[in-house]
Amino acid sequence: MTIDASPPVRSGLDRLARGDGPDLRGRPVALLCHPASVTAGLAHATDVLAGPVGADVVSQLGPEHGLDAAAQDMEVVAAGTCTSGHVPTYSLYGDDFASLSPTPAMLHGAQWLVIDLQDIGARYYTYVWTAVLAAEVALAAGVKVLLLDRPNPLGGLEAAIEGGAIDPGQESFVGLHDVAVRHGMTLGELARMAIVERGLADPARLEVLACAGWRRSMLAPATGLPWVLPSPNMPTLDTALVYPGQCLLEGTNLSEGRGTTRPFEIFGAPWLDGRALADALRGEPDAIPGLAVRPLGFKPTFQKFAGRSCGGVQLHVRDAAAVRSLQTSWAVLTAAWRLGQGAMRWRTERYEFVDDRPALDLLAGGPWLRAAVEAQAPLAELLAEQEPGRRAFIARRRPFLLYPE
């Protein structure tokens, strides 16, 4: 990859480094960040704030996976696991839901909480909810919040939005607020929407430093910005493109490919016939837009089926703009349930701090998808069922959009 120090798009961090945004020189600042919090030239936010911006970084906060993004999914990250000189560091991903929010004391008297996190554009990617929870604590404590925005790597057009509503009572850390699965918003847009609609903090002291040059039709490569893994299992844009659908596999006993070099693109199980699944997907109208499927065998090195041979499928991105991975993964679940002949099951173990319902219900926003898969409902029926919720979300999001198409 060629890194362009002057790309067509400038992130909020790049703009802050050039002097845009509020004057933070000499001001105490708490920073919520991770390894993808970098400029176009790969300078990290900690160095930008302490260097050209001239802020006094008094505290660093890390989301799920930690400040260094070394921890796996749902792995508890202890406070101070990753140190940054003499600056106190705190984990916002511990062993209970309360650990997901900072305490006011963790801000160490900061005048500003600066948030710079790369999102992936799916409601169950937890960084946006960490941003919302942290911002609400800061705002309630009288601390200003500066959210440095970044492009949504999946773009932001209405036509690409997938999924419907979250049923009341199904909110969780993989869907803290009622938004579509593939929402087509930047972290700044979505965080502001959630803070306003949740009504738990005054958004008047929240400032979003928008990207310059981003349009909603742009996928990640068009921005010219470098791809830095925002989490351990998000190595490429292709991974991000299939993630809004393939994350649903976390709610099953199918391997979602963790423990392979292409997580979410590769998936399967020891009891699954990959060739039969590939044939089923190819034969389902509208199942694999923008994708090709290839049967394969694989052996995960960790997590589900570690060290065991699995049959499965790899999703290959052929037309990134056409990919609609949520409907693809609905078709995957339906076909795998049928082909598994009783071997496939739903995850009922604790998932993202919830243990009183199947994990798939949290991911899907309710029990509807589980029931539809078991009933072998056709894909067209699932799309039709979710369309009213999708349309309602599109209307709700419009007042919060910052960028043109």
Look at residue 16 and give its three-state secondary structure: helix
Q: For 50-94, what is each residue's pLDDT tens digit?
A: 999 999 999 999 999 888 877 777 677 876 545 556 899 999 999
Report how far Cα 277 is from the mean position of its chain's Cα atoms: 27
> What tokens were used for 62?
């890390």
pLDDT score of 5:
60
Distances in Å between the alpha carbon of 371 and those of 66, 75, 203, 361, 377? 35, 30, 39, 10, 9
Q: Which residue has the tokens 């773009």?
A: 155
Phi, psi for residue 10 in degrees, rounded to 5: -115, 125
Of 264, 273, 332, the residue nearest 297 (C-alpha):
273
**Cα separation, 235 vs 191, whole angstroms:** 24
Taking a C-beta distance cutoff of 8 angstroms, is the pair 264, 291 a contact?
A: no
Q: Assess contact for 50 and 57: CB atoms under 8 A.
A: yes
Q: Is the dihedral of CA 328, 329, 333, 336 positive or negative?
A: positive
At 84 the pLDDT is 53
Question: Is 310 strand, coil or helix?
Answer: strand
* Rounded Cα–Cα distance for residues 163 and 150 (Å): 23
Residue ranges of the chain with per-residue pLDDT less than 50: 1-3, 81
CATH number listed for the domain at residues 237-374: 3.90.1150.140
> According to the model, what pLDDT value does residue 65 have?
83
**Domain ranges within the chain, ordered by starting residue:** 12-230, 237-374
Task: Give the pLDDT of residue 361.
Answer: 98
What residues contact 387, with CB distance under 8 A and at least 6 apart? Answer: 164
Q: Which residues contact 356 (CB under 8 A, 6 or more apart)?
A: none
pTM, entire model: 0.95
CA distance to 268, 283, 309, 337, 377, per residue, from 277 (Å): 9, 10, 16, 10, 17
**Residue 4 has what pLDDT?**
52
Same fold, 12-230 and 237-374: no
C-alpha 280/C-alpha 297 separation (Å) is 17
End-to-end distance of the chain based on CA atoms, in angstroms? 26
Q: Which CATH architecture has domain 12-230?
A: 3-Layer(aba) Sandwich (3.40)
> Which two tokens mark 25?
């020189």
Closest CA to 93 of 150, 175, 152, 32: 32
Interval 124-172: pLDDT, tens: 999 999 999 999 999 999 999 999 999 999 999 999 999 999 999 999 9
**Residue from 119, 65, 122, 64 nearest 329 by CA:** 122
